[in-house]
Amino acid sequence: MTIVITGATGHLGHQVVEQLLARGVDPSTVVAGGRNEDALAELAERGVRTARIDYSDPSTLDDAFVGADRILLISGNEVGKRSVQHKAVIDAARRVDATLVYTSAPKASTSALVLAPEHKATEGLLEGSGLTYTVLRNNWYTENYDDTIRQAASTGTILTSAGTGRVASATRRDFAEAAAVVLLSEDYAGEILELGGDEPWNVDELASAVAEVAGHEVTVDQVSTDEHVAALQGFGLDDGTAGFVAAVDANIADGLLAESDGTLSRIIGRPTTPLKQYVGELLGG
């Protein structure tokens, strides 16, 4: 069986390849694809096949998918272009009749989450594709808060407009393990899996975890969405990025990332990585 991992130059894709190899998959049956093949050199040295994959260049998809049995479509990072790019991947997968696994967003078909529309559109394309597929609706990556955690450890404060909203985050390793399990199993065909961390947390709990590791108090500065945007712009973020960050916090405040039913931990066969453990590892505590 040949398994193609798109986006393997990114953190999640690379970890999925690592998880497949850790499970004894023959490296020669794994194709790690990305726009920069040089970034895949370390995997190539271990026997993994590599390929240039650019979602905006269908010819690279056809070349990379030759002989593919299963394909992991890791959602692209070019917001606003992803629906078209994902369609190109789905069309290429249809040409080789491969099973597709797609990384989506929580409750993508019904959520008001700022990132949901393109995922909803992609899920719709999958539904009409005729392919066998599985959707992994990944919640937030705990790594998304790396800068926040480091800044909190340094400055003793966290700026947020998320209120008391909770985040059912998990680490990329947690999600990568789930993707590897699904790619190697027949059990999840046709399923839409809502994946999140076992213990949803709020910003106060994040501040507490950082304080415990850093050894000093960390306070939370709760502001309105408009105040948050203005503050981020003052820190040098462009208007689009500042608006996006504040919009995500507004979504969190509305509870859109709060739910987890334990599906992720059941798939990987262990508890997801606790927030305090992750903070400790990141800060070297």
**What is the chain written as a DSSP string?**
--EEETTTTSHHHHHHHHHHHHTT--GGGEEEEES-GGGGHHHHHTT-EEEE--TT-HHHHHHHTTT-SEEEEPPPS-TTTHHHHHHHHHHHHHHHT-EEEEEE-TTTTT---TTHHHHHHHHHHHHTT---EEEEEE--BGGGGHHHHHHHHHHSEEEES-TT--B--B-HHHHHHHHHHHHT-STTTT-EEEE--SS-B-HHHHHHHHHHHHTS--EEEE--HHHHHHHHHHTT--HHHHHHHHHHHHHHHTTTT----SHHHHHHTSPPPPHHHHHHHHHT-
Nearest 5°: the CA angle 5, 10, 14 is 55
**pLDDT tens digit string along 8-32?**
999 999 999 999 999 999 999 999 9
Mean pLDDT of 134-141: 98
Q: Which of 198, 208, 207 is nearest to 258 (CA)?
A: 198
Pairing relationship of beta strands 99-104 and 133-138 according to DSSP bridges: parallel
Beta bridge partners of 135: 102, 192
Instruction: Answer yes or no: is pLDDT of 285 > 90.
Output: no
Mean pLDDT of 142-153: 97
| 182-211 per-position pLDDT tens digit | 999 999 999 999 999 999 999 999 999 999
Q: What does the pLDDT average to over 133-159?
A: 97
**Contact of 198 with 262, CB cutoff 8 Å:** yes
pLDDT for residue 117: 96
Q: Which of 79, 78, 66, 81 is nearest to 33 (CA)?
A: 66
State residue 228's pLDDT score.
Answer: 97
Query: Is residue 5 pLDDT above 90, yes or no?
Result: yes
Which amino acid does the sequence have at 140? W
Q: What are the tens digits of pLDDT across the range 249-270?
A: 999 999 999 999 999 999 999 9
Q: What is the pTM of this model?
A: 0.96
Average the pLDDT over 50-74 and give the result. 96
Q: For residue range 219-253, what is the model confidence (pLDDT) as tens digits? A: 999 999 999 999 999 999 999 999 999 999 999 99
Q: Is residue 127 within 8 Å of 100, Cβ to Cβ?
A: no
